[in-house]
């Protein structure tokens, strides 16, 4: 299995809703990442988990809450989002915490906040 699977593929939520994005990989990778990508822009790093511990939080607002229940799963909990948070949310993993080992990205969750 060489994939990073993200669910759901599409999500529409209101500004008062609570929802979660899920990411799963079974490649034995020990580093997992959340990226946010706006249209026609490069991915922006949000969070890095290394060996299931949060290693980097790129000053992301608290309405985004990551969770890494085990080495294969990564969640992103969403609460009280704003319309400007609408974007493609990408999960990625790598064998360890080094980009030179090669990231594998999922296909993303297209989030629309209304």
Partner 1 sequence: QQQVKQSPQSLIVQKGGISIINCAYENTAFDYFPWYQQFPGKGPALLIAIRPDVSEKKEGRFTISFNKSAKQFSLHIMDSQPGDSATYFCAASNTADSWGKLQFGAGTQVVVTP
Beta carbon of residue 61, minimum distance to partner 1 (angstroms, whole number): 20
Q: How far is CA 52 from CA 7, 12, 41, in A?
A: 20, 28, 28
Which residue number, 4 or 21, has a Cβ lying nearer to partner 1? 4
Among 21, 76, 92, 111, binds partner 1 (CB under 8 A): 92
Which residue lies nearer to partner 1 by CB, 20 or 37?
37
Binding mask 35-74 for partner 1 (x = CB under 8 A): -----xxxx-x--x-x----xx------------------
Binding site for partner 1 (CB under 8 A): 4, 31, 33, 40-43, 45, 48, 50, 55-56, 90, 92, 94, 96-108, 110
């Amino acid at each position: 299995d060489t994939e990073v699977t993200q669910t759901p593929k599409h999500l529409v939520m209101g500004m008062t809703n609570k929802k979660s994005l899920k990411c799963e990989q079974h490649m034995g990778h020990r580093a997992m990442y959340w990226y946010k990508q706006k249209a026609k822009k490069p991915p922006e790093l949000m969070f890095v988990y290394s060996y299931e511990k949060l290693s980097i939080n790129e000053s992301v607002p608290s309405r985004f809450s990551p969770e890494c229940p085990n080495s294969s799963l990564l969640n992103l909990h969403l609460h009280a989002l704003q319309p400007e948070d609408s974007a493609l949310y990408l999960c990625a993993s790598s064998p360890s915490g080094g980009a030179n080992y090669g990231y594998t990205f999922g296909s993303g969750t297209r989030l629309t906040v209304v």
